[in-house]
Structure 1
Amino acid sequence: MINQKQTISTLSGLVLCLGITISACNNSDSSVNPTTTGSTGTSSTTTSVGTGVPDVYKKIYGASQIYVEGDYIVIKSSGLPDHKTPYYKGTQWESTLYVADTRSDFHANSNTITSFSYTFKIPKNPVVASTHKALQAATIGVAINGVPLFNQYQMENQLLTPGAGEYVSFDLYGGHPTPFSEYHYHIEPNYLTATQGSSSLIGFLLDGFPLYGPVENGKTLTSNDLDAYHGHTTVTADYPNGIYHYHTTADAPYINGNGYYGTAGTWSK
């Protein structure tokens, strides 16, 4: 495993939710209906897509803007989840997006959700890196609903473990906010795999390589099916000629392993 202390650059990167709480996140909330493409957690929003943006990036329905800037794809989003969660309690969206989580093994942390102005800048044509860079602290990519993807570590650089630590504070869809109100996923975003499909595109890591759900060709993958970076090269529905891509798995490290397969871009808020 990577020593994340070498990559921590901001205070918010250290934070992953002080009020420890979550369950295995394989449940679904029957009271939550799928949102339509082009909507976010707060209101109906039209994604502005610039010229030259490849079709696969148009699946990022939670973005406010997607455009090409040189050799990069720029994705802007608020980071607000488009599904109900107990972490909307006490916010301006509580009346429509708050839902109580009554699972006995769920323990909500004390944080709530806030909207940000995220900018993710990822390589348009990702390639394998000559030197694989360690994961950055916290944010490592973006999901198709515009929510940041985090690494597999909680505070103190400890690997997240089901039923313990911060893991017990994950809501029904595998997310929770930091003390800085940054909602994010460390594990499979169950809302996306439930509404889009378990083999569907989930998002992109900062190196530009896509992230898919846990199922491929009818098989539910585990980390043993993937390489040290939690991915492999095969044909996908979006890349008929094949591409390296990551998968979420139920077992650690969940989204990414020993660093980026490609050269990471940047993110800011």
Structure 2
Amino acid sequence: MKKSLFLIIPILGILLFLACSNSDDNSDSGTTLATSTTTVPAVYQKIYGATSITTDGTYVTIKTNGQPDHKSVYYPTNNVKYEAFSGTTFGGATFRQNPNSISLTNSFTFKIPLHPVVASTHSATPMGAIGVSINGVPLFNQYAAGGSPLTNEVASFDQYRGHPTGTHMYHYHVEPLYLTQTKGKEALMGFLLDGFPVYGPEENGAAVTGLDVYHGHTGATVDYPNGIYHYHITNSDPYINGNGFYGTPGTVSN
């Protein structure tokens, strides 16, 4: 009997050691899994027009359908958001409706840096979407098709200063009037593809001034109290963005 006990005790010790080792391995694995999970920062929740917002810790991926949440003369006439429009539009131009309409089937995926930094080489903004507004509508640069000025194209801006392309992509080149009316002229308007935020035409209760060649500056905002480089939308050329992206742009697909 004593010999049996002497044999059993070492075996029990080995089993306890193995159990503890397995428990430690599971604990380490759980810790690694927890730290690999990244939460989307709260500021991106202001993009209320997104159909989904996720992050992998390096990029934020924002998906939208690109449809404005406001009325427009460019919606099909049987759509509840259709509203007739006539008179003057941006810059006092007499409104002339273009032949395009808002697509009800588009989808966009914006992939932007989670932690944007100034680029060593500043790339020019492309024709097409250069960013996304908080209602999910794409932001475009200061040029019409072919890289020409917006001089003639502004006449086709609807009651909220947007219009659709020939591929039915609704977008803003200038101040998104619906957003500044409902959110305020100092509010967050969206993000450009380089991950830096875009704000309205006012700051600290006055029209913004002193912007650099990229149409932005560094300072504190409501969303970034410690300061960040950010763009501003103004009512004079280049409206949203100047001589290219301040940071390195991500991608957009549709």
Q: Which category describes the TM-score, using the shorter chain as reference length?
A: 0.7 to 0.9
1:246 maps to which residue?
Answer: 231
Identify the residue that residue 64 of structure 1 maps to in structure 2: 51
Q: Which has the higher helix share?
A: 2
**Is 2:134 the counterpart of 1:150?**
no
| Structure 2 residue aligned with 1:173 | 160
Q: 1:109 & 1:160 partners in 2: Cα distance? A: 14
Shift in Å at residue 184 of structure 1? 0.3
Q: Does 1:112 align with 2:101?
A: yes
The one of 128, 132, 141 equivalent to 2:131 is 141
Q: Counterpart in 2 of 1:33?
A: none
Deviation of 1:213 (Å): 0.2
Residue in structure 2 matched with residue 97 of structure 1 by the alignment: 81
Larger RCO (alpha carbons 8 Å, 6+ apart)? 1
In the alignment, residue 126 of structure 2 is paired with which amino acid?
Answer: Q
For residues 126 and 148 of structure 1, the distance between their equivalents in structure 2, rounded to whole angstroms, comes to 19
Aligned to 1:11: none
Distance 1:181 1:156 in 2: 17
Gap change, CA 1:71 and 1:51, over 3 Å in 2: closer
- When Rg is computed on C-alpha atoms for both structures, the one with the higher figure is 2
- In structure 2, the residue matched to 1:182 is 169
Identical amino acids, percent of aligned pairs: 59
Alpha-carbon distance in 2 for matches of 1:199, 1:246: 12
Gaps of 5+ in 2: 1-36, 89-93
- In 2, the alpha carbon distance for the partners of 1:66 and 1:186 equals 24
Query: For each residue in 1:2-49, what CA deviation from the matched residue of structure 2 results, as whole angstroms up to 9, or x when unmatched?
Result: xxxxxxxxxxxxxxxxxxxxxxxxxxxxxxxxxxxxxxxxxxxxxxxx
Shift of 1:70: 3.9
- Show the counterpart of 2:111: 121
Q: Is the 8 A contact 2:65 2:107 kept in 1?
A: yes
8 Å Cα contact 2:38-2:57 kept in structure 1: no
For residues 156-202 of structure 1, give each alpha carbon's deviation from its aligned partner in whole angstroms, at most 9, with x where no partner exists: 211213xxx11100011110000100000000101001000100000
Say yes or no: does 1:74 pair with 2:61.
Answer: yes
Structure 1: gaps of 5 or more residues: 1-49
Offset of residue 136 of structure 1 = 1.4
* Moved >6 Å (runs of 4+): none
Residue 215 of structure 2 corresponds to residue 230 of structure 1: yes
TM-score (norm 2): 0.81
State TM-score, norm by structure 1: 0.77
- Structure 1 vs Structure 2 CA RMSD: 1.2
